């Protein structure tokens, strides 16, 4: 089975997280979980983050926007990442890893 463009973005993000030894998982919603939950959920230095991966001109849905907003309102970090956004993932990890 061929990997989708969004799947390629997810793979790039996971590679970066793995390289940094960061805990994460990819929730499977498929009718059993809450719709709109970001693609990747994780914790770095005790701080919660969530990443929604998009490819091309993909846009977040209203449900995804709701979840991303709720994460931000709870003082978590929530990002939407496209193919060219891997530096943003690295910047997020650096910020979450910095001593407070």
| Lookup result for tokens 């939407």 | 80
CATH annotation of 5-97: 3.40.1350.10
- Per domain, the residue ranges of the chain are 5-97
Q: What is the pLDDT of residues 21-64, one digit of tens each?
A: 999 999 987 777 788 999 999 999 999 999 999 999 999 999 99
Predicted confidence band of residue 98 (pLDDT cuts 50, 70, 90): confident
Rounded to whole angstroms, how far apart are CA atoms 26 and 21? 16
């Amino acid at each position: 089975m061929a990997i989708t463009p969004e799947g390629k973005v997810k793979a790039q993000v996971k590679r970066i997280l793995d390289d940094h030894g960061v805990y994460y998982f990819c929730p499977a919603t498929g009718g059993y979980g809450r719709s709109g939950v970001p693609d990747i959920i994780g914790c770095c230095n005790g701080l919660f983050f969530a990443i929604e991966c998009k490819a091309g001109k993909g846009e977040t849905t209203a449900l995804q926007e709701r979840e991303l907003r709720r994460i931000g309102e709870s003082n978590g970090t929530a990002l939407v990442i496209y193919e060219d956004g891997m530096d943003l993932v690295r910047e997020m990890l650096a910020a979450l890893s910095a001593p407070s």
